Structure 1
Amino acid sequence: MLNKVPRDVLLLRSPSEDGGFDKYEEAFRARGYRALSVPVLETVHTNIDKLSDIVRGGGLISQQREGRDREYAGVIITSGRACEAWRIVVEQLTVGDSDGREGEAGGWSMIPFYIVGQATAAALSAIHDSFTSSRFAPKDIRGAVESGSSERLAHFIASDLSARPDGAQGRKLFYLTGDKNRDTLPKILADAGIEVETLQVYATQGSSRFEEDLGNALEGVQDLDPNDDDRWWIVYFAPSSAKHVMPILSKQFDMPTTAKVEGQKAVTFRRARLAAIGPTTSTYLESELQLQVDVVAPKPNPDALAAGIASWDGKQ
């Protein structure tokens, strides 16, 4: 049975950023748990100088064999992080730089930006709203309504290029990526005979603030008795950050490791049980970190995860 005080759940993920209720936290609260989300990853921008050089060129590609320059047929952006990279460069090139201001012909404001989803469209539109007179700011934004995934966007781009009257189908596209982008989109475009130039502009890594953020989150939890045997669930959402957070979690929790040395004593009053969002994450925790995982969500969504943990607790 559950304790009278709701059992605490630590979610190793970033909470919702849209200002509304977090679906994972709400799924646990609905079942009598108290859930905390602590980010375990952070994004760092890469190749900003190289991106700046390309953006400064106004969308022109040097074609030495043809003896003239040609414009990119378009820019592909599929994430908010890539939008942030573009915004950084636009701000650098525009503020205090007359070359980026109104009066310059052409530029990126004349080149289509192909994007996935309304959120990405809104982020790009915000750049244009902030730098309306800049030739580096995107203006022609396409695909938000038609595409909700990289695959659908690729097919939309192929169709759009073939319908354009400016000879776009014979020119290359410029694709801003992260370190974990799949090759679905460029492969579909390549199969359609469309050349894509990629540039990685961001990467994800273990959060440098995780230890501080975790400490602050735990300090904010009420009703904790240092002399009581406090039980927690810790939920992992991806293998990528698990190794990074393990030594930090071990300072705050008695982790259920299968490789514990005989006679080893817990260093904290917090005893943890582990859950994983899916089998890939669970396998990594068990095989690579020698951790015991008690619950694997049958489906990777909030209700399935919370129900799985509640079901496990109900059997104890």
Structure 2
Amino acid sequence: MVSNVLLLRAPTQDGSSPDKYEACFASAGYQAVSIPVLETVLVNLSDLNQIVKKGPLQKGLGGVIVTSARACEAWRVVVEQLVTDEGQSLDTDWTSAPFYAVGEATAAALADISSIPASHHLSPRDIRGGSTTGTSEKLAQFILADIGHDTKTTLLYLTGDKNRDTLPNMLEDGGIDLENLQVYGTTGSSRFERDLRDALEGLPTDNPRWWIVYFAPSAAEFVTPILKRYYRLPELDVEGNINAQDVHLAAIGPTTLTFLRDSLRLVVDVTAPKPTPEALVGAIGGAS
């Protein structure tokens, strides 16, 4: 029996090849669609605006650490605001401040900020790391070697809402102080319910069997109340509701399974043995 499969994840953004999960399900005879559940938004831009406006000397900063394209986007947005509001009257100068970047993509995004007209004094010019610092650990090692263990300095660290402790711990152990500023965060997609309705309209209505695949606890917490408006999800604490309307749930891994079962009290039929398209399709196929 053919099943519809709802994948609670963003599809791969690559025009040259199909999404791996959707393609893998299609090859096994399923009708699958991916729907983005989360989106990233910029936050605390007014705080960053004041830092950029005052400049590194007034703020006592010896440089900036940037570990993602989103952090670069935050700096770019603030620069555009300041150029529009202040123009050339702003005498702040960031051109000599080192910007430490994780990976080539982040370094390239920083360099591109200088393309904003009249932004020379606010744009990153001294970009360090990049291709040689593709991980947080490598960047921390690079910064420590670049600054030196005997030099006391404070670096502005632009972060998101989910950050590993590796880089800040290594730098603080090396005597470098950090001024942390969260400039982006993850939240539920404002388009999810609209995208879900569009997806339901595009899937065959004669397929009575549904699989819904969860990929992360954070996404599950946001999306489950919305899904309950369209499906009767199998719940542990609701008698007679298991597999209502032939809806089955799958988890991409044990962490997601535990959250679905223990926190959301949902019945999960399948957990992928590995977080790969092939393993997920195989697990669902074995339970179908």
TM-score (norm 1): 0.82
Is 1:278 aligned with 2:253?
yes
How much has 1:236 moved relative to structure 2?
0.9
How much has 1:175 moved relative to structure 2?
0.4
Match of 1:34 in 2: 31
Is 1:224 aligned with 2:213?
no
Distance 1:296 1:127, change over 3 A: same
Is 1:17 aligned with 2:19?
no
Letter in 2 for 1:13: R
RMSD: 2.5
Match of 1:213 in 2: 195
Match of 2:128 in 1: 142
Quick one: distance in 2 between partners of 1:263 and 1:250?
A: 12
CA deviations 1:108-155 (Å, max 9, x no partner) are 232221122222223222222234643111122222211222122211
1:128 and 1:137 in contact (8 A); partners too: yes
Quick one: distance in 1 between partners of 2:40 and 2:185?
A: 6
How much has 1:86 moved relative to structure 2?
1.1
Quick one: distance in 2 between partners of 1:124 and 1:184?
A: 22
How much has 1:260 moved relative to structure 2?
2.0
1:13 and 1:37 in contact (8 A); partners too: yes
Quick one: distance in 1 between partners of 2:101 and 2:279?
A: 31
Correspondence 1:140-219 to 2 at 5 A: 140-162=126-148, 169-219=151-201
Quick one: distance in 1 between partners of 2:241 and 2:129?
A: 60
2:235 and 2:242 in contact (8 A); partners too: no
CA deviations 1:172-209 (Å, max 9, x no partner) are 11101111112211001111111111001122122232
Match of 1:67 in 2: none
1:100 and 1:135 in contact (8 A); partners too: no
Match of 2:44 in 1: 47
Secondary structure at 1:109 match in 2? coil
CA deviations 1:77-109 (Å, max 9, x no partner) are 1122212211110110012532377xx5x7223
Correspondence 1:67-146 to 2 at 5 A: 70=60, 72-99=61-88, 107-131=93-117, 133-146=119-132
Match of 2:230 in 1: 252
Deviates more, 1:149-158 or 1:49-58: 149-158
Question: Which of 5, 8, 12 is equivalent to 2:4?
Answer: 8
CA deviations 1:248-271 (Å, max 9, x no partner) are 1122223122222348995xx5x3
Query: Between Structure 1 and Structure 2, how many residues are aligned?
Result: 287
1:16 and 1:22 in contact (8 A); partners too: yes
Distance 1:88 1:36, change over 3 A: same
Secondary structure at 1:108 match in 2? coil
Match of 1:303 in 2: 278
Secondary structure at 1:181 match in 2? coil
The percent of aligned pairs where both chains have the same amino acid is: 52
Letter in 1 for 2:218: S
Distance 1:125 1:35, change over 3 A: farther
Secondary structure at 2:144 match in 1? helix
2:235 and 2:241 in contact (8 A); partners too: no
Question: Which of 44, 47, 53 is equivalent to 1:56?
Answer: 53
Deviates more, 1:48-57 or 1:287-296: 287-296
Letter in 1 for 2:171: L
Correspondence 1:226-241 to 2 at 5 A: 230-241=208-219
1:58 and 1:135 in contact (8 A); partners too: no
Letter in 1 for 2:231: F
1:285 and 1:293 in contact (8 A); partners too: yes
TM-score (norm 2): 0.89
Distance 1:125 1:60, change over 3 A: same
Letter in 2 for 1:248: I
